[in-house]
């Protein structure tokens, strides 16, 4: 199997790095054939702070996926997160210049370039430009303007930007690990590909991706991304709270969170015992699951409150008929959906990847949504040949028609 026939998604997270390998079967259907994970210690809140530690984790995760798949990886599509990620909406306007005022691909390219002409700091770069809606001679609601007739063409886009140095350090890690990056993709955009239905996108939906060090938020309206941001808090803060309040090690606190944790106290039965290992040779103590929940719920409430405050400022919640979709490793915490529904007054569900062949039970889990989504993102929008450590502007433009075809 040639490397070009494979798609490899690499989710570089704060607490864990995940690689997903996919290939095309005899019916040209995408099949996930390998999943590999490795603990991550070289990132803080989604940003690389130790290149050597991160590249070792990248190698370990990809090697694990290679062993499962029986394939050799050379190129990857990498996710990127961190509080440096910011989204903004912009608008562009041009005069139609095609013969007979027929809108051509050149006109679409020009109007997108006009929308991109916004002032961003020199230390930031554009990761994605996503057309949301076109207007032809004041007629709005047009999703694909090609070959239509008009004099004036406008576009509304959602742009996702990130720190240049954060992206460069991520690319450097992967390159030094011996792999080439095809593209860098905002992690929430990838996760949404794996867990959302088109109906949810059309109705308006909030995707909350709760990772170890960050919580990524992406809002869809009318079928396309409308608002995005990243908060520098996540599951690691919950673990830290448990470690302090229960006076146990971080490793023990993480295990307690996974095995006995709950984010919504009404779901906890009174008197359920939890054994808390001691530290420094001290004997273990017994707590209750209710006490564990009393530590977890306030932190998860704080995270959801921070998300809600950002959305309230944009007055977005009134147009979210598709509800709330929670994904990422933090979504595995029992009670997180119930708490989210209370906090946002919306229906909610857990978002996990669908079945794409292979060992589905290995990847149908919210914590693998980004890795699987990176594969789907690349599959659905087409391969990007330019390496990420080169100029990516042309790659953005080359993908615009694929954005229109996919979203609309």
- For the stretch 7-55, pLDDT in tens is 999 998 888 899 999 998 878 888 999 999 998 887 777 777 787 888 8
Residue 249: CB atoms within 10 Å: 14
CATH for 59: 3.30.420.40
DSSP letter at 57? Answer: H
Q: Which residue has the higher pLDDT, 249 or 140?
A: 249
- pLDDT band at residue 349, thresholds of 50, 70 and 90? very high
Instruction: Give the rounded percent of residues in the chain with a pLDDT score beyond 90.
Output: 57
Decide if 342 is inside a domain: no
Q: Quick one: 46 and 98 in the same domain?
A: no
User: By residue range, what is the domain housing residue 146?
Assistant: 86-161
Q: Is 375 domain-assigned?
A: yes
Number of domains in the chain: 2
pLDDT of residue 256: 93
Task: Check whether 408 has a pLDDT greater than 50.
Answer: no
3-state DSSP percent of the chain in helix, strand and coil, to 5: 40, 30, 30
pLDDT tops 80 at residue 76: yes
Domain co-membership, 67 together with 97: no
Q: Are residues 79 and 179 in the same domain?
A: yes
| HSE-up of residue 347 (Cα within 13 Å, Cβ side) | 8
Most confident of 79-83, 117-121, 126-130, 203-207: 203-207
Same domain? For 76 and 93 the reply is no
Element (H, E) at 327: strand 324-327
**DSSP class of residue 102?**
B
Q: Mean pLDDT score of the chain, rounded to an integer?
A: 87
pTM score: 0.87
- How far apart CA 266 and CA 137 sit, in angstroms, is 55
Is the torsion defined by CA of 290, 295, 296, 297 positive or negative?
A: positive
Report the C-alpha gap between 244 and 238 in whole angstroms. Answer: 10
Domain-located, residue 320 = no
Of 161, 183, 204, the residue at which a domain comes to its end is 161
What pLDDT, on a 0 to 100 scale, did the predictor assign at position 376? 92
42 and 157 housed in the same domain? no
Report the pLDDT averaged over residues 338-358.
92
At 396 the pLDDT is 39
3-state secondary structure 270-337: CCCEEEECCCCCCCCEEEEHHHHHHHHHHHHHHHHHHHHHHHHHCCCHHHCCCCEEEECHHHHCCCHH
- Across 116-235, the runs of DSSP E, i.e. the strands, are 124-136, 139-142, 152-163, 180-186, 205-210, 215-221, 224-231
3-state secondary structure at position 371: helix
Q: What per-residue confidence (pLDDT) applies to 301?
A: 96
**Is 398 in the same domain as 386?**
yes
Cβ pair 260, 249 in contact under 8 A? no
User: What is the Cα–Cα distance from 112 to 205, expressed in whole angstroms?
Assistant: 25
Shared domain for 73 and 91, answered yes or no, is no
376: nearest Cα among 181, 187, 180, 194: 194
**pLDDT tier, 382 (very low <50, low <70, confident <90, very high otherwise):** low
Q: With 50 as the cut, is the pLDDT of residue 393 above it?
A: no
Q: Residue 127: which CATH number? A: 3.30.1490.110
Q: The tokens of 196 are what?
A: 């959302």
Closest C-alpha to 224, from 210, 203, 243, 242: 203
Q: Based on the fold, state whether residues 139 and 169 are members of the same structural domain.
A: no
Q: What are phi and psi of 230, to 5 degrees?
A: -130, 135
Q: What's the pLDDT tens digit per position in 212-236?
A: 888 999 999 989 999 999 999 999 9
What the block records as the tokens of 276 is 């808390």
Q: Are residues 78 and 168 in the same domain?
A: yes
87 token code pair: 């989204």
């Amino acid at each position: 199997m040639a490397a070009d026939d494979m798609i490899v998604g690499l989710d570089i997270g704060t607490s864990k790095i995940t690689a997903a390998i996919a290939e095309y079967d005899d019916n040209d259907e995408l099949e996930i054939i390998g999943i590999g994970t490795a603990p991550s210690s070289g990132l803080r809140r989604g940003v690389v702070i130790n290149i050597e530690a991160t590249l070792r984790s990248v190698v370990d995760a990809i090697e694990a996926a290679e062993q499962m798949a029986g394939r050799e990886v050379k190129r990857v599509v990498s996710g990127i997160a961190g509080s440096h990620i910011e989204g903004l909406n912009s608008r562009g306007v041009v005069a139609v210049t095609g013969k007979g005022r027929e809108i051509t691909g050149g006109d679409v390219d020009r109007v997108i370039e006009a929308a991109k002409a916004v002032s961003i700091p020199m230390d930031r770069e554009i990761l994605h430009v996503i057309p949301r809606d076109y207007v032809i001679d004041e007629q709005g609601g047009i999703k694909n303007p090609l070959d239509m007739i008009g004099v004036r063409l406008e576009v509304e886009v959602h742009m996702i930007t990130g720190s240049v140095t954060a992206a460069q350090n991520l690319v450097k890690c992967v390159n030094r690990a011996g792999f080439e990056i095809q593209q860098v993709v905002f992690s929430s955009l990838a996760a949404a590909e794996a867990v959302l239905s088109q109906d949810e996108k059309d109705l308006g939906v909030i995707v909350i991706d709760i990772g170890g060090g960050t919580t990524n938020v992406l809002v869809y309206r009318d079928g396309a991304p409308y608002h995005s941001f990243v908060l520098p808090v996540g599951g690691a803060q919950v673990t830290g709270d448990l470690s302090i309040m229960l006076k146990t090690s971080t490793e023990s606190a993480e295990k307690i969170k996974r095995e006995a944790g709950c984010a919504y106290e009404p779901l906890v039965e009174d008197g359920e015992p939890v054994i808390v290992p001691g530290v420094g040779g001290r004997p273990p103590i017994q707590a209750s699951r209710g006490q564990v929940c009393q530590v977890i719920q306030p932190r998860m409430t704080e995270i959801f409150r921070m998300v809600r405050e950002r959305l309230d400022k944009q007055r977005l919640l009134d147009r979210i008929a598709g509800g709330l979709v929670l994904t990422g490793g933090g979504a595995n915490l029992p009670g997180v959906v119930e708490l989210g529904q209370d906090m946002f007054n919306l229906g909610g569900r857990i978002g996990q990847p669908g079945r794409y062949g292979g060992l589905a039970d290995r990847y149908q889990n919210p914590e693998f949504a980004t890795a699987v989504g990176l594969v789907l993102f690349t599959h659905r929008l087409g391969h990007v040949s330019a390496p990420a450590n080169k100029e990516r502007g042309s790659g953005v433009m080359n993908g615009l028609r694929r954005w229109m075809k996919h979203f609309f």
